[in-house]
Structure 1
Amino acid sequence: MNGSYRKRGDKWSYIVDLGPDPATGKRRQKEKGGFKTKKEAQAAAAELIVQLENNNYRKPVKQLLEKYLSDWLESKRISLKSNTYASYKHHIEYHIIPAMGKIDITKLTPAEIGKFYATLLNEKKLAEGTVRDVHKVFTAALNQAVKWGIIQRNPAALVEKPRAGRKELSVWTAEQAKEFLKIALTDRLYVAFLLALSTGMRQGEILGLRWKDVDLEAGTLHIVQTLSHDGKELSAGTKTKSGNRTVSIDADLVKILRKQKARILQERLKAQEGEYTDYDLVTPTSKGTPVTPRNLSRTFYRLLSQSEVPHITFHDLRHTHATLLLTQGIHPKVVAERLGHADMRVTLEIYSHVLPHMQKDAAEKVGKLLFS
């Protein structure tokens, strides 16, 4: 059993004989195109031929991509964290389905997917990182379609994912960080900003931090819970497995946290019955409930407008923390551990802008040892 191949334009297709129809005896053939090279078409045809020879071939049933993706997304609801599920849902409903939802999943080609990514980048002006996330979701969904026997081969796996552009980080100097903290000192959410700058914790980690996870005697924070992006759900675990970590804090931060704890206790005692819900949070609202990320950001930008420091995002406070540590000569492995990076190489890649300064500092120190 062999296949034949032909080129149309710059794409290749295969034709494989399926044998006679059991009911009519008529000859049946399957043709599929959209392959970049003849080698890709031959590989796909070989898979089909093996299935035919092993009697494992099933004629594809027409199913629109939008229907399949909706079903797949629902099947993932119980296995994905709420934040991840929300991200998948956004990419599928706002990007993939509007552009490709009416395509029969069995006829989806790598060329169509590649063109879709190009449109997102060049016409929709989405960031390269966002398109890479779309590609990740699309590939995962179609991998499952292969496992379920809906398609024979994942066309997204044959498309090169958009390259990762290197975004220049916006960070503060130590002086700028201190200037902002002076402005924020009297604000209720001061501790949240201080934690971001002094520990590098993510926004959801700060807003989900509980007193039971804080050891003021030892000067450590155990990061094991996060608040969702919409502020509606506290969940065990962090963004990644390595995100569950213990971070050391200095004596000054310990003092500030003790004052914060005392203030929260007073608020709880003064509240009327039924007015306070105790979530044991380090940075709660006046009613004990979680502060939503939206309100935290609103406060952050309001305080920024009152200061003269460069405007950056709340997440950039995490980058500022890492940059300050690296410029002080702290080993990248320690920085990676504080940030919750699984691999030190991730830390070095993100903060590569710091490396030239570190190289110069190292050269000067070696010079002093040898020539002074």
Structure 2
Amino acid sequence: MSFQQAQDAARAWYGQLAAHDAGDAVSGPYTVAQLMEDYLKDRQSKKRKDLSHTRYTMNAHILPKLGHIDVSKLTRNKLETWRDSLAATDLDPEVMRKRQATANRIFTILKAALNFGYKHRENRIATRAAWEKISPFRQVDAPKIRHISVEECKRLIAACPPDFRKLVRAALYTGCRYSEITSLRVSAFDSAANTIHIAMSKSGKARNIALTDEGTSFFESVADGKADDDYLFTHDEGRKGGKPWGHSQQTYWMNEVCKEAKIEPAVSFHILRHTYASQLAMNKTPMPVIAAQLGHADTRMTERHYAHLGQSYVADVVRANLPSFGFESKPTLVQKSA
């Protein structure tokens, strides 16, 4: 083995000896699958947030290839080979960019779990050498955020069945994610303050979303006659009538209503969130306000996706605040002497 491999093996061995001396039992392999479960349990207890997407990613992309492997047997080559296989394609460059971006996001989840294990399961993971020097694919996350026009929004809403129409309107009034909307209870709506309270968002933080008068009227109509603990949005009829919307049920309906509304290519439900933010940006809303409405931790993500749409706002602010230096508007030509 190489010198680096020998160092890693020594650290792992000394880690096991230290654990044994401390009375911490170490028996059998500690697999990637076991590590991922420990990591998710820890995140759930500390963040108290919906981890369904993380679990789906884990089950679909991490465990099939790596789940059975003892974490101590992971190597940089194994991890890079697995990561590269996620992005492998012989298709056009744009498809490759998207797959590499997806591979980066999946690998980020695995790295977070491995770092958790290194910190909290030191008797099992003695070194970070297998993953700490693996770099992500570069320049693959160029923001190409699609949004639809107000006219397209109206066509989309008109094409929806009544119960799904409410979800679409809620997304356009709030910029909320599908999971945030479908988990809303009546008590989340404050008609006096004209706000919707999101108790748990993707970032793990709560936020209050300001509503327009139109948005407030909409939520008042949805909440009318319901108890505080009732779901705001449920199926209207059939065997699911009165039941809350489930995970991924929006995908089928978005495809169907986009066909009816003649929106091509079809947009996902998440594009409604981008449409909300894009409309705010195009109407000169400051980036910190958009970030707060969306629940972003700061303005970096907001600016990355939407700042280019607010260039007129930037231009207006510059023109209003940059002073005149007293120069003539047209340069004076200086004649050269013969």
**TM-score of the two chains, using structure 2 as the length reference:** 0.74
Q: Using the alignment, how far apart are the partners of 1:209 and 1:240 within structure 2?
A: 17
2:294 corresponds to: 339
Query: Alpha-carbon deviation of 1:63?
Result: 5.8
Write the letter of the residue equivalent to 1:282. L
Q: Is the 8 A contact 1:200 1:339 kept in 2?
A: yes
1:138 corresponds to: 110
Q: Is the 8 A contact 1:117 1:162 kept in 2?
A: no
**Is structure 2 residue 44 aligned with structure 1 residue 72?**
no
Give the one of 246, 271, 276 matched to 1:321: 276
Q: Using the alignment, how far apart are the partners of 1:84 and 1:156 within structure 2?
A: 26
**Is structure 2 residue 211 aligned with structure 1 residue 211?**
no
Give the one of 169, 182, 197 matched to 2:145: 169
**Is structure 2 residue 270 aligned with structure 1 residue 298?**
no
**Is structure 2 residue 8 aligned with structure 1 residue 13?**
no
Write the letter of the residue equivalent to 1:257. F
Give the one of 314, 322, 330 matched to 2:285: 330
Map of 1:116-155 to 2, 5 A cutoff? 116-123=82-89, 127-146=99-118, 147-148=120-121, 149-154=123-128, 155=130
Percent identity over the alignment is: 21
1:19 corresponds to: none
Structure exhibiting the larger radius of gyration computed from Cα positions: 1
Q: What do you get for the CA RMSD once the two structures are aligned?
A: 3.7
Query: Alpha-carbon deviation of 1:302?
Result: 2.0
Q: State the SS of the aligned residue for 2:261.
A: coil
**TM-score of the two chains, using structure 1 as the length reference:** 0.68
1:272 corresponds to: none
Write the letter of the residue equivalent to 1:332. M
Q: Is the 8 A contact 2:281 2:307 kept in 1?
A: no
Unmatched 5+ stretches in structure 1: 1-5, 7-11, 15-31, 34-40, 225-236, 269-276
2:157 corresponds to: 181
Query: Alpha-carbon deviation of 1:279?
Result: 5.1
Q: Using the alignment, how far apart are the partners of 1:213 and 1:84 within structure 2?
A: 17
Q: Is the 8 A contact 2:187 2:229 kept in 1?
A: no
Write the letter of the residue equivalent to 1:128. Q
Q: State the SS of the aligned residue for 1:247.
A: strand
Q: Using the alignment, how far apart are the partners of 1:91 and 1:256 within structure 2?
A: 35
**Is structure 2 residue 156 aligned with structure 1 residue 201?**
no
Distance verdict in 2 for CA 1:360–1:91, change over 3 Å: same
Query: Alpha-carbon deviation of 1:205?
Result: 1.2
List 4+ stretches of structure 1 deviating above 6 A. Answer: 45-49, 363-367
Q: State the SS of the aligned residue for 2:131.
A: helix
Distance verdict in 2 for CA 1:245–1:83, change over 3 Å: closer
Q: State the SS of the aligned residue for 1:283.
A: coil
2:220 corresponds to: 258
1:193-246 per-residue CA deviation (whole Å, 9 max, x = no partner) reads 11211211111111112211112233111112xxxxxxxxxxxx222233x111
Structure with the higher strand share, 1 or 2: 1
Q: Is the 8 A contact 1:281 1:288 kept in 2?
A: no
Q: Is the 8 A contact 2:175 2:273 kept in 1?
A: yes
Query: Alpha-carbon deviation of 1:85?
Result: 4.4
Query: Alpha-carbon deviation of 1:256?
Result: 2.7
Q: State the SS of the aligned residue for 2:3.
A: strand
Q: Is the 8 A contact 2:54 2:109 kept in 1?
A: yes
Q: Is the 8 A contact 2:171 2:273 kept in 1?
A: yes
Range with bigger deviation, 302-311 or 196-205: 302-311
Write the letter of the residue equivalent to 1:302. E
